[in-house]
Structure formats: structure tokens, C-alpha cells
A and B are shown apart, each in its own frame.
Chain A
Amino acid sequence: TQLLEQSPQFLSIQEGENLTVYCNSSSVFSSLQWYRQEPGEGPVLLVTVVTGGEVKKLKRLTFQFGDARKDSSLHITAAQTGDTGLYLCAALTGTASKLTFGTGTRLQVTL
């Protein structure tokens, strides 16, 4: 059983559209992180959410941590082709600093 389930698995949209990616779990986390990975590169940290109900904005990206700290969402407004990539949620589990990654959402934004 995957600890962190992401949906949708794949998403293909046109530039200018909005989208939301979900990260769900039955476990409670002290914090949750979102990464973006582009082809040929390692994942890059976008944000860390810590407090239940927290909302963080990074330009056109809005991240929310669920009130119960079991889930999170990433909303992109007016997607651009540069947003194309693999989006991963991740949580620290077990021993501190060990990351467990979600199943991933592959986003493709076309003109």
C-alpha cells in the first residue's frame, strides 16, 4: 500500500488552464513537501507545509495542507508550458530526514 497517493496520475492541459493535484494519505504528517522534477534532473523542492489548514502561494502555485494534516493539494493558475514536469508530494517518515514520496503526477502543458 502506497503511503502517499497522488491524483491524477497524468494530466495534459492547454496553456492558460487551471489545475489541481491532490496528495492523500491515511497517515498524519508533521509536514509535507512538494517537489517538481523535470526530465534529466533531480526533484527540486517547491514548498514545505507544516500547519494544518496552511495555505502557501508561490507565484501561480497555491499549496494547501489539510486541516487534519493527512492530505495536501497543489493548484496551478493559468498554467504555462514551463510548468510541465513530474510533481511529487513527500513526507518525512520514520527517522527524521527520510523522505517518502507520493506516486507522482505527470503534467504536460501544451500551447
Chain B
Amino acid sequence: SAVISQKPSRDICQRGTSLTIQCQVDSQVTMMFWYRQQPGQSLTLIATANQGSEATYESGFVIDKFPISRPNLTFSTLTVSNMSPEDSSIYLCSVLTISYNEQFFGPGTRLTVL
């Protein structure tokens, strides 16, 4: 399996500020994804992080609000920009590994916006 770490694990932020979340995988992966999980809810895909090119965003999510980088096969960042209380959620990184046809999830970053 893939071991995925996310930083920070949790943060409390003021509205109007931005937070960058890091996702690091211990092996090369084919695809990396970012999900949002609002309190008590299921997971919603934000975007697919593409290596060396712009991320592919799902309906309802835009690059200006959620800029994503993926400089190599094992690392990606998600920035939550100009935050509001509605952005309070758990943000999860997910990967599809080369050796396993299965998605693995990171532990998530719990964000609270005041």
C-alpha cells in the first residue's frame, strides 16, 4: 500500500487568509486527487492534480479558490484561498498507485475558519 502524509493535520485560520496543505506519498503514483469532506458529510472531489500541468477541477471548484501544484510524482499541494467559514472542512489527498489499482487516502487536514 501507499503511505500518505498530510501537513498540517489541522489548523484554525482567520477569514480572508490562505492555507496551503501538503501531501507527500512514499512511492510514485499515477494520479493524485484532492477531496473535501464537510462536517458530517461524504467526500466531494475537488480536482485531479496533474504533474507539470494545471489541475483538472470538478464542477463548482475553481483554480483561483483552490490552486493546486504537483511538481513531481510524489508531492502535491492544495491552497485554500481567501477563506471563509464555509471552507471549514476536512481536506483529503488521495493517490492511485502504479502497483495497486486502488486509491489510498491520506489522514486529512481538518480546517476551521473563524
Binding site for B on A (CB under 8 A): 40-45, 48, 88, 97-104, 106
Shortest C-beta distance, A3 to chain B (Å), equals 11
Could you tell me if B41 and A97 are in contact, using CB atoms closer than 8 angstroms? no
Could you tell me if B105 and A44 are in contact, using CB atoms closer than 8 angstroms? yes
Could you tell me if B42 and A98 are in contact, using CB atoms closer than 8 angstroms? no
Interface residues on B, range: 20 to 34
Shortest C-beta distance, B8 to chain A (Å), equals 13
CB-CB under 8 A for A42 and B92, given A98-B33, A98-B48: yes
Q: Is the interface of B mostly helix, strand, loop or mixed?
A: strand
- Chain B residue with the shortest CB-CB distance to A40: B107
- Chain A residue with the shortest CB-CB distance to B100: A45
Which A residues are in CB contact (< 8 Å) with B45? Answer: 98-100
3 closest residue pairs by CB, A with B = A42-B105, A104-B42, A101-B43
Could you tell me if B43 and A41 are in contact, using CB atoms closer than 8 angstroms? no
CB-CB under 8 A for A43 and B44, given A97-B31, A98-B33: no
